[in-house]
Amino acid sequence: MRPFEEKVQDQLCTVLVIAAIVVSAAAVFQCFTGMYLTDLWGECVLLEKYQIYCPGCGGTRAIKELLQRHFIKSFWYHPFVLYAVLISGVFLGSNGMYHIKLTKRRFLLRPIYFYLGLGIILGQFILKNIGLWIFP
């Protein structure tokens, strides 16, 4: 699959930089208050009301473990988090080096990376709910 157009690559880079700033702000909030942002809104509504995991269930725990450098636990809770961090890190790093003229080439995002991420999310959703059904 061909990479996204140059304009889209730049827009994705901007979005990822903003996301990195938000995640960093959340980490600073946690360091200074000892609270996680999820402590403010509680449990997952789908799990609480209908006893099924949503596609994002485990994501917050995966981020917490990733921030503590527990990569295997993070992957176990939600593999998409580690996948997204790796793809985003390579993309932002290579684009940063490209824009300050340290390299002549950069890593370009392709639609396949988004499809793969969606597949990881759906696979995790299906496996967790099958496990919930088999092992109540």
d(CA 17, CA 91): 11
Residue 101 is predicted with a pLDDT of 87
Within the chain, which residues score under 50 in pLDDT? none
Q: Report CA torsion sign: 72, 38, 127, 82.
A: negative
Residue 119 is predicted with a pLDDT of 97
Residue 82 is predicted with a pLDDT of 94
pTM for the complete prediction? 0.82
- CA distances from residue 77 to 17, 28, 65, 66, 106 in whole angstroms, order as listed: 24, 22, 9, 10, 31
* Start-to-end C-alpha separation, the chain: 41
